[in-house]
């Protein structure tokens, strides 16, 4: 088989190449033969930067932004609402709308991005003209009702056009007044983020009270950080369960973004599975991203880390011929690394337990169920851990080698695909994995960086 040389382009996505499950990637046993690769910029930081810059009155600059399908979708929606966004080499220039929605085309297509849909729905509720907000087949089944209910309690008039509580939805007018609202914290932090972003555009502002256990808190902290950079006044308690956002005007920002810690997790896992010394570029020394927790994971497994804050480089030294020990990791603040941890844990000789991931059942796939199912197909000893009858994590009794030689499903989820890819690099026989074009959602250069580190990538 020939090594993949082709790039997965935005044009292919437009031609519906994404989710082409008739094509599989063959991923076989290897060990990293190179020592260096680069981590892409942060997706959540890029998306939040685009939002506040688009709502600002003036011109903003966002440096080291991520270019992927979901950030492109965010830009397209913000352009549709009136922002002028120019892609330069290494940065974005954004002339904002000053908080005034100017949209006459009626339909906003958010494709498969939950954050884009939820934010666009909230912003649509400030428009005097009706706006339909929709998405693709992967987004329409996802839970939206808590956000719709919250917006309606604050004055919005919404109607679901298909299944109740799901996309697509129409906002009929700009009657969103603000006020007090309650939201569950264990379904999606994006509901809270969407309300925070729209709050300054309302006459009253919005006070959000979060009940149940708050998950993915770091994403709400990132939202607050970018809003404060843009001059918005907000206050919150230590647990982020009481958030008050006041009416105000977004100001332009000039910001340089960090590397993406979820994307970094795949390469941190590779470096942990194979003995050697490695260098990762564009790694943030300081980061608000909860997924930075993965660095604690690899250190616990015996990998030595050395940061160079001046160059944003991380040097990893892995002295381990095999991984041994019993571990328990709580991912309630960083659920996106659940699939990567499952891939890594399969090769740890001992009991490898991960909990706190219940929110991932509502992501692009049920990620715990997906990884347990596919790793069981590979004869990995993995069992689901439940909390209140909901998948919350898993426990693995791993070993240093697995046979492989199976055909695996990515479940239509780019993070499941990349995690199964990592696991397959350590299998005795190659695996076939579908959905490989989905990496464009968050990490278009994934295969290029894989080739930099391992030298293998086959179709």
Q: Is 138 annotated as a binding residue?
A: no
Q: Is 88 annotated as a binding residue?
A: no
Q: Is 48 annotated as a binding residue?
A: yes
Q: Is 22 annotated as a binding residue?
A: no
Both tokens of 106, joined, read 């009626």
φ/ψ of residue 74, rounded to 5: -60, -45
φ/ψ of residue 156, rounded to 5: -70, 155
Q: Is 401 annotated as a binding residue?
A: no
Q: Is 315 annotated as a binding residue?
A: no
Q: Is 142 annotated as a binding residue?
A: yes
SS (H, E, C) the chain: CCECCCCCCHHHHHCCCCCCCCCEEEECCCCCCCCEEECCECHHHHHHHHHHHHHCCCEEEEECCCCCHHHHHHHHHHHHCCCEEEEECCEEEEECCCCCCCCCCCEEECCCCHHHHHHHHHHHCCCCCCEEEECCCCCCCCCCHHHHHHHHHCCCCEEECCCCCCCCEEECCCCCCCEEEEEECCCCHHHHHHHHHHHHHCCCCEEEEEECCCCCHHHHHHHHHHHHHCCCCEEECCCCCEEEECCCCCCCCEEECCECHHHHHHHHHHHHHCCEEEEEECCCCCCCCHHHHHHHHHHHCCCEEEEECCCCEEEEEECCCCEECCEEEECCCCHHHHHHHHHHHCCEEEEEEEECCHHHHHCCCCHHHHHHHHHHHCCCCEEEEEECCEEEEEEEEECCCEEECCEECCCCCHHHHHHHHHHHCCEEECEEEECHHHHHHCCCCHHHHHHHHCCCCEC
Q: Is 429 annotated as a binding residue?
A: no
Q: Is 189 annotated as a binding residue?
A: yes
Q: For 93, how many CA atoms within 13 A lie in the half-sphere containing its CB? A: 4
Q: Is 313 annotated as a binding residue?
A: no
Q: Is 419 annotated as a binding residue?
A: no
Show binding-site residues for 3-phosphoshikimate.
43, 48, 188-190, 216, 363
Residue set of the binding site: 43, 48, 114, 142, 188-190, 216, 363, 367, 415
Mark the binding-site residues for phosphoenolpyruvate, compressed into ranges.
43, 114, 142, 190, 367, 415
């Amino acid at each position: 088989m020939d090594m993949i040389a082709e790039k997965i382009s935005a044009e292919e996505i437009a031609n519906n190449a994404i989710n082409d499950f008739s094509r599989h990637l063959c991923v076989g046993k290897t060990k990293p033969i190179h020592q260096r690769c680069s981590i892409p910029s942060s997706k959540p930081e890029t998306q939040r930067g685009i939002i506040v810059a688009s709502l600002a009155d003036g011109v903003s600059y966002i440096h080291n932004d991520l270019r992927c399908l979901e950030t492109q979708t965010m830009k397209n929606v913000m352009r549709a609402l009136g922002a002028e966004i120019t892609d330069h080499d290494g940065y974005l220039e954004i002339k904002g709308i000053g908080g005034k929605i100017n949209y006459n085309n009626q339909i906003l297509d958010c494709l498969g991005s939950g954050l884009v849909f939820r934010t666009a729905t909230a912003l649509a509720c400030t428009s005097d003209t009706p706006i339909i907000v929709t998405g693709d087949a992967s987004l329409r089944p996802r839970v939206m009702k808590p956000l719709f209910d919250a917006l309606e309690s604050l004055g919005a008039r919404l109607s679901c056009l298909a299944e109740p509580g799901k996309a697509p939805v129409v906002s009929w007018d700009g009657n969103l007044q603000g006020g007090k609202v309650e939201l569950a914290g264990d379904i999606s932090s994006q509901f809270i983020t969407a309300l925070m972003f729209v709050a300054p555009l309302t006459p009253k502002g919005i006070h959000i009270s979060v009940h149940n256990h708050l998950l993915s808190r770091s994403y709400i902290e990132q939202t607050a950080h970018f809003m404060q950079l843009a001059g918005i006044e907000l206050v919150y308690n230590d647990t982020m369960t009481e958030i008050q956002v006041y009416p105000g005007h977004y100001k332009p920002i000039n910001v340089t973004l960090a590397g993406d810690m979820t994307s970094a997790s795949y390469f941190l896992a590779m470096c942990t599975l194979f003995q050697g010394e490695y260098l990762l570029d564009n790694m943030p020394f300081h980061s608000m991203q909860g997924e930075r927790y993965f660095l604690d994971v690899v250190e616990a497994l015996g990998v030595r880390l050395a940061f160079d804050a001046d160059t944003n480089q991380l040097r990893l030294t892995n002295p381990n011929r095999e991984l041994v020990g019993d571990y328990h990791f709580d991912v309630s603040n960083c659920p996106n690394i659940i699939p990567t941890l499952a891939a890594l844990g399969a090769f740890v000789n001992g009991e490898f337990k991960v909990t706190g991931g219940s929110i991932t059942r509502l992501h692009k796939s049920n990620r715990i169920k997906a990884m347990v199912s596919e790793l069981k197909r590979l004869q990995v000893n993995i069992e689901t851990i439940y909390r209140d009858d909901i998948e919350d994590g898993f426990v693995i009794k791993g070993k240093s080698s697995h046979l492989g030689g199976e055909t695996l499903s990515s479940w239509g989820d780019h993070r499941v695909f990349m995690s199964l890819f990592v696991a397959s690099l350590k299998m005795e026989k190659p695996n076939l994995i579908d959905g490989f074009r989905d990496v464009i959602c968050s990490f278009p250069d994934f295969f290029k960086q894989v080739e930099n580190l391992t030298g293998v990538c086959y179709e």
